[in-house]
Amino acid sequence: MPLLLRRLPSHEAYPGDIFYLHSHLLERAAKLSSRLGEGSMTALPIVETQSGDVLAYIPTNVISTTDGKIFLPTDLFHAGTCPAINVGISISRVRSTAQIKAMKQVAGKLKLELAQFAELEAF
């Protein structure tokens, strides 16, 4: 990829400015016309990981420029879990600030119970 962009390779053979490129693409996607009333936009970047490695260079770059992540492992999907969300490592920077009080009370406990169940099931 860096050779196609005529740049020197850096970390994991990606261009040295790959972090800038990711954030620039996300910011550019949200530039809305002042002539049309501006506003806001929700972006849902999707990153495929190799063997579920969310700590690889590209996934961590994308995660750091967004407000969180939803991790959808294929093993949960193949086990019949629907939606196949790993609640243990899925996070949101918005968290409960966007929820009503009743939802906060239920969701917090439910997420903890799901994470504990998944951890026990792994043993």
Please check whether residue 43 is in contact with residue 26, taking contact to mean a CB–CB distance below 8 angstroms.
yes
pLDDT at residue 67 above 70? yes
Reply yes or no on whether the pLDDT at 78 is more than 90. yes
Which residues are marked as active site?
A: 93
What value does the mean pLDDT take over residues 36-65?
77
Enter the pTM of the model.
0.58
Cβ proximity of 2 and 11 under 8 Å:
no
Tokens representing 51 are: 């063997």
Bond prior to 45 in cis (omega within 30° of 0): no
Q: Is pLDDT above 70 for 30?
A: no
